[in-house]
Amino acid sequence: MTNVTLESPLVGIAGLGKRELTVDGRSCLLGEIALLDMLTLRGDATDAGFVSAVLAATGLALPVVANTASVGEGRQLFWLGPDEWLLKLPGGTGEAVEAALRAALAGKHFSVVSMGAGSTTLSVQGPAAADLLSRGCPLDLHARSFPAGSLAQSHIAKANVVLYCLQAEQSYEVTVRRSFAEYLFKWLCEAGS
């Protein structure tokens, strides 16, 4: 029997640690938050039973306003559409939370799907963070337009991403599909050189 080890899609390059990048004389750090568990959740946000079951199973209130998130206890629940959410969890906790969701939602119309290691999350922090991302992202990342807690599905260069602002113009998380992770990491490194 072969032992299988789960590895980051950036194991060969991000494993070297965070990269310090410079944009117009200001710096930021690029790194990876590797091996998070991620689940996609679908259901009816107008069903009070669905909403309360999600809260009971995850500890997070279901975000029902476009481009918002519910965050707590190391978990993030992102609104992706009127009936779709992305739940990001610490590694190794996804199976238990998925089982809890399935039990709490029994009898309801819903879908819970583990994304496995299909995506990863990049971290961009520092005074040049917004400027670095803006080199490839069409969103206005100024604090007045994209304050802390803002969330958007967009693209950076040619990679589709979910962009979450932790601190306006200073700290972001970029969730990207595994197949685009190395491309995006290298693109950001080049854009910030």
Residue-wise pLDDT tens digits, 95-153: 999 999 999 999 999 999 999 878 999 999 999 999 999 999 999 999 999 999 999 99
Do the strands 171-177 and 159-167 form a parallel or antiparallel pair, or are they unpaired?
antiparallel
- Contacts (Cβ under 8 Å, ≥6 apart) of 46: none
Quick check: pTM over 0.75?
yes
59 Cβ contact partners less than 8 Å away, ≥ 6 residues apart: 72, 73, 75
**pLDDT single digits (tens) 38-56:** 999 999 999 999 999 999 9
Sheet hosting strand 151-156, strand order edge to edge? 19-23, 26-33, 119-125, 171-177, 159-167, 151-156
Give 5: exposed, middle or buried? Use CB within 10 Å, 0-12, 13-18, 19+: exposed
